[in-house]
């Protein structure tokens, strides 16, 4: 993504976090954003339809509503806004930016350990604890630490 586009995604993420902290479930929103971003990134046809300028906005809205049926209100409103503004493809960047902001709000830092062989659960916990002591933050081990 272009730096300008990343800036736009960060602005959406900041606004979402403020709303979620005030009225919603910020952890749930992080999870919903990540799932939606994964879905969008995994389905090129969905991306094409939602980004295609010849597809009417009303049709895109109907598709997005059907795909993300049952989503919480805040997420649904974001999706409708992105469809209306032709910015649906920003969703993965918004999800990443939101996870980063949510982690910072909770004083959580993401950690990725590269090892020669897989760590046992106890080893991973010990590593997270040691890194937490060293950084003074909670160390998240899931993909974007948005849930953790």
Please report, rounded to a whole number, the percentage of residues in the chain having pLDDT higher than 70.
93
Q: What is the pLDDT of residue 141?
A: 59
Q: What is the pLDDT of residue 82?
A: 93
Q: pTM of the prediction? A: 0.80
| CA 61 to chain CA centroid, nearest Å | 20
Q: What are phi and psi of 140, to 5 degrees?
A: -95, 145
Burial class (CB in 10 A: 0-12, 13-18, 19+), 106: middle
Higher pLDDT, 2 or 5: 5
Q: What is the pLDDT of residue 147?
A: 42
Q: What is the pLDDT of residue 148?
A: 41
């Amino acid at each position: 993504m272009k730096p300008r586009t990343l800036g736009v995604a960060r602005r959406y993420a900041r606004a979402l976090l403020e709303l979620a902290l005030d009225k919603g479930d910020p952890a749930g929103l992080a999870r919903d954003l990540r799932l939606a971003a994964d879905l969008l990134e995994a389905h090129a046809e969905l991306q094409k339809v939602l980004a295609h300028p010849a597809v009417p906005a009303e049709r895109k809205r109907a598709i997005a509503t059907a795909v993300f049926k049952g989503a919480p209100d805040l997420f649904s409103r974001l999706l409708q806004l992105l469809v209306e503004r032709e910015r649906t493809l920003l969703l993965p960047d918004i999800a990443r930016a939101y996870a980063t902001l949510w982690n910072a709000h909770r004083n959580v830092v993401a950690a990725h350990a590269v090892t020669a062989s897989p760590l046992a659960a106890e080893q991973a916990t010990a590593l997270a604890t040691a890194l937490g002591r060293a950084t003074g933050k909670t160390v998240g081990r899931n993909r974007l630490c948005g849930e953790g």
